[in-house]
Amino acid sequence: MKRFGYIRVSSKDQNIDRQVENMKRESINDRDIFIDKLSAKNYERPQYQLLKRLVRKDDEIVFDSITRMGRSMNETLKEYEWFLENGVQLKFLKEPMINTSTEDDDVIKQAIQKVILTVLAAFAEKERTDIKIRQAEGIEAAKAKGKHLGRPKTKITPEFIQAYNEWKNKEIPAVAAMEKAKMSKPTFYRKVKEYEKKK
């Protein structure tokens, strides 16, 4: 039997240290820990799919929580069943009541596990929906207060105007003008359009 660990966070900015420490406490080697920094909305995650290709019958995968596996109730149930059908054991550190075992063939216990799994997966999906609603409400509230969302707008600076004039007068090439204005190529040409429109 080989043991693997799976870690997931929703974005590249989120910290994985706690989950990594939990995997180490389970004595899982670094090379056997698979990490995705992607949303739980679907299962097309590179490391998760690679792990599925590598696991064999009687192997075990450790998850910090059912939410690390996914947050879609129907898809989570399908994935759980897929592992069971292929003889792969699952261990959830926060929800030991749904851990699987090759030694346990109690049909009633398995049925109860599936009921608990369904409830937990439903809560995980609801939590994801609630997060999206809160994010949308936060965006609307910020807009109502006149706050700018997204990347800060690049202003037309004196440096840009000087670089623009030199470029237009063919004193310097476009690349030099971009460097002088401290702008990327797309930003520079976008500001050129804005500036010429205002003129």
Give φ, ψ of 26 to 5 degrees.
-85, 5
Q: Check if the beta carbon of residue 99 is closer than 8 Å to that of residue 44.
A: no
Q: Give me the pLDDT at residue 182, please.
A: 87
Give φ, ψ of 183 to 5 degrees.
-130, 150
Q: Give me the pLDDT at residue 92, please.
A: 94
- Of 10, 11, 27, 101, catalytic: 10
Known catalytic residue at 11: no
Q: pTM for the whole thing?
A: 0.60
Rounded-to-integer distance, Cα 155 and Cα 157, Å: 6
Q: Check if the beta carbon of residue 51 is closer than 8 Å to that of residue 43.
A: no
- In this structure, what token pair is assigned to residue 106? 């109690």
User: Where, residue-wise, is CATH 3.40.50.1390 in the chain?
Assistant: 3-128
Rounded-to-integer distance, Cα 118 and Cα 44, Å: 21
- In this structure, what token pair is assigned to residue 7? 């870690």
3-128 CATH fold: Rossmann fold (3.40.50)
- Which residues, listed in sequence order, are joined to residue 7 by a DSSP beta bridge? 35
Share of the chain above pLDDT 70, in %: 77
* pLDDT, averaged across the chain: 84
> H or E segment at 144?
helix 107-144
Q: Which residue has the higher pLDDT, 55 or 138?
A: 55
Q: b/e for 27-41, b at 16 or more Cβ within 10 A?
A: ebeeebbbbbebebe
Q: Are strands 3-9 and 33-37 parallel, antiparallel or unpaired?
A: parallel
Indicate the residue type of 110.
Q
